[in-house]
Structure 1
């Protein structure tokens, strides 16, 4: 019969918060493993004579947490090959505890070890009590040591663990500032428990100002964005703007009557203006004109959604699918050492899609378009005259 690894949660504060059953279970064992000795419950149990073998030295021996957790799991499994193992962790074993995930995955794939989880109080309830927010509003739980910008959803609250040092807080601040404005109010929460916590409210740009407030029990709570302007850089907010503009009942009189056909010439106009910005090496003008080109894409997507044929998600899915499919040398096993290899890969990918080589009307049109652009670059045409040269009737866009 395989030996068992029992993972025991120590809660997030003191011995007073530890359930009586868990306390009795721990005191019945003479040899306990613990992820870290730096926890109030471990200190209290040590004072009562319990012996702990910690993995604190593993943290010092490795540069990244992934290696630390792998090493801890390996040692625990090796120990479990000889005897049953009791392994204690801060908080609840299933909340922000990577070693639990790795141990359970191993037990699922192998028959030499069993894993059991016991008790432990999560810090989550106490953090939300400290900041006076209902978690039912929606929130994400993320790890500060492994956080990426694309994980952050400004529409929901975000609770971030493992903010144990000034340096981690600094990196976290930079990541959060990619999505939130610098003045966005955040909370540093340390030692959250039923009777209180250390709570600091401050603007995001000051998150790492005081290195004395961070320890192994520190989290950062980031409330969801409240101001409408906070969403101006959000892609789906932009898509919702266009959905509103083309709405048959509440939309803009110009936008809601547009069709895919009526919009064709505006894409041409916006492309000319983007060319001008590129030629002038004007970054701010490029931002504006690229936005106008995106506007055309979003308009077509919103019209497609209104008519029930497609929406922006299908456009993005088609784009992602094509880019991955046509770049197996980046996302797959293909190898491209030069342009000839790349052309072969590209041709093969298109052939698998059933693409038939042909002279496309749009390519002929593009050549004419570029010729026209080259001709007009040095001509004394102002923007109005250039538009007249391109237009074939209709009204100007109000966008």
Structure 2
């Protein structure tokens, strides 16, 4: 026997905005499961005789939303094996609703449960009306309870849901500050519906100061950033600058004629300058010199892209794949107790890559160079003397 779970969206406001078909489905039920009773429409439906069983206690009994969603889904599946179940969620079941995703994933894998979705009105249209922005301009929809800075894209509008408490808002503020200026204007939108919304514009650093406004129907909206200065810390913005510099038509006269061969010496020069910054324990100098080394990487990738052989994404992909492949003790099931175990793992990983053990000239050179560098870094030598010193292999005599 196949059980059925019907997921019903309650919309994002009152009974007047609930579609008639959804209202009739609910009125025909003797008991309805609901993710939370904390929704503007629930009291009205209860007053009309609909009995709800909520999962609010699950929220209180679990640490972390992932555990909450797993518990809700498990209870719904168990109930549906006995009889068909109607389960309501705020808004539209397919918009920012993790339990829908998990229930459908289960139904796709197993044949004892069938899932049907009956859409309610999504809050998204009303929020964009409240902030007077056309969503066609592009936007990113994110969940405040599972947000990390890597998901943020300052090039598009960003709508963040489930900002349900001052604590959530505080955590969100800290994450947003990793990508946005502290003074960035953000908009708190509470209770958006067809007739309006409570809207507060505030600088990012004061986001969590409006404690009274945060609840289950509160979201935060951030317009796309149009100030070039804010993009200065963006990796791909930097890559775009270098792409322009090496462009054959509009590029810089020096940059656009460089090749992989002509740039080799500069990577060495910048490395020496980084050595100096490290030795001097000069953090600001290190930032500058690390930037100069990154510049060399970006110049090579931009030239590769211009010539059609490779680009930055391929370089980053190669790096990411290698790091995961060579660290199965971090990203896989391998176990490491000491450096000897680690060496064995590395050798196995290299062998799988087809790498043959050999004496690497570049490693011998690096070791020899570091010995020379350590001898000379505290010496005051003019150019002629330094040249003679290096020609003699570092022999002080």
TM-score, normalising length: structure 2: 0.94
Matched position secondary structure for 1:261 = helix
The structure-2 alpha-carbon separation of the partners of 1:3 and 1:124, relative to structure 1 and needing over 3 Å to count, comes to: same
Match of 1:114 in 2: 114
Q: Deviations over 1:104-128 (max 9, x none)?
A: 1111122222111112000000001
Distance of 2:244 and 2:383 partners within structure 1 = 30
Distance of 2:269 and 2:388 partners within structure 1 = 10
Where does 1:6-45 land on structure 2 (aligned, <5 Å)?
A: 6-45=6-45
Residue 370 of structure 1: how far off its partner (Å): 2.0
Match of 1:397 in 2: none
Residue 283 of structure 1: how far off its partner (Å): 0.7
Bigger mean CA deviation after superposition, 254-263 or 330-339? 330-339
Where does 1:305-324 land on structure 2 (aligned, <5 Å)?
A: 305-324=305-324
Residue 383 of structure 1: how far off its partner (Å): 10
Residue 330 of structure 1: how far off its partner (Å): 1.5
Question: Is 1:61 aligned with 2:50?
Answer: no
Match of 1:395 in 2: none
The structure-2 alpha-carbon separation of the partners of 1:258 and 1:29, relative to structure 1 and needing over 3 Å to count, comes to: same
Distance of 2:357 and 2:60 partners within structure 1 = 60
Distance of 1:371 and 1:31 partners within structure 2 = 79
Q: Deviations over 1:75-108 (max 9, x none)?
A: 1111111211111111001111111111111111
Matched position secondary structure for 2:37 = coil
Match of 1:294 in 2: 294
Match of 1:195 in 2: 195
Match of 1:243 in 2: 243
Distance of 1:327 and 1:146 partners within structure 2 = 26
Distance of 1:300 and 1:334 partners within structure 2 = 35
The structure-2 alpha-carbon separation of the partners of 1:383 and 1:13, relative to structure 1 and needing over 3 Å to count, comes to: farther
Match of 2:304 in 1: 304
Residue 376 of structure 1: how far off its partner (Å): 2.6
Match of 1:4 in 2: 4
Question: Is 1:71 aligned with 2:87?
Answer: no
Residue 358 of structure 1: how far off its partner (Å): 2.2
Q: Deviations over 1:116-148 (max 9, x none)?
A: 111200000000111111111111111111101
Residue 382 of structure 1: how far off its partner (Å): 7.8
Question: Is 1:153 aligned with 2:147?
Answer: no
Matched position secondary structure for 1:198 = strand
The structure-2 alpha-carbon separation of the partners of 1:382 and 1:91, relative to structure 1 and needing over 3 Å to count, comes to: farther
Contact 1:269 1:387 in 2 (8 A): no
TM-score, normalising length: structure 1: 0.94
Where does 1:193-272 land on structure 2 (aligned, <5 Å)?
A: 193-272=193-272
Q: Deviations over 1:10-30 (max 9, x none)?
A: 100010001111111111112
Match of 2:394 in 1: none
Match of 2:85 in 1: 85
Contact 1:272 1:373 in 2 (8 A): no
Distance of 1:383 and 1:245 partners within structure 2 = 32
Distance of 1:326 and 1:87 partners within structure 2 = 46
The structure-2 alpha-carbon separation of the partners of 1:145 and 1:383, relative to structure 1 and needing over 3 Å to count, comes to: farther
Match of 2:349 in 1: 349
Q: What RMSD, in angstroms, separates the aligned Cα atoms of the two structures?
A: 1.9
Contact 1:242 1:302 in 2 (8 A): yes
| Number of residue pairs aligned between Structure 1 and Structure 2 | 390
The structure-2 alpha-carbon separation of the partners of 1:388 and 1:199, relative to structure 1 and needing over 3 Å to count, comes to: farther
The structure-2 alpha-carbon separation of the partners of 1:386 and 1:91, relative to structure 1 and needing over 3 Å to count, comes to: farther
Q: Deviations over 1:302-355 (max 9, x none)?
A: 111111111111111111111111112212222221111111111111122222
Tell me which stretches of 4 or more aligned residues in structure 1 moved more than 6 Å.
382-390
The structure-2 alpha-carbon separation of the partners of 1:204 and 1:383, relative to structure 1 and needing over 3 Å to count, comes to: farther
Residue 388 of structure 1: how far off its partner (Å): 12
Q: Give unpaired runs (5+ residues) of structure 2.
A: 391-397
Distance of 1:175 and 1:5 partners within structure 2 = 36
Match of 2:393 in 1: none
Matched position secondary structure for 1:240 = helix
Matched position secondary structure for 2:4 = strand
Q: Deviations over 1:169-188 (max 9, x none)?
A: 00000000000010111110
Contact 1:302 1:311 in 2 (8 A): yes
Bigger mean CA deviation after superposition, 217-226 or 378-387? 378-387
Matched position secondary structure for 1:337 = coil
Residue 385 of structure 1: how far off its partner (Å): 9.8
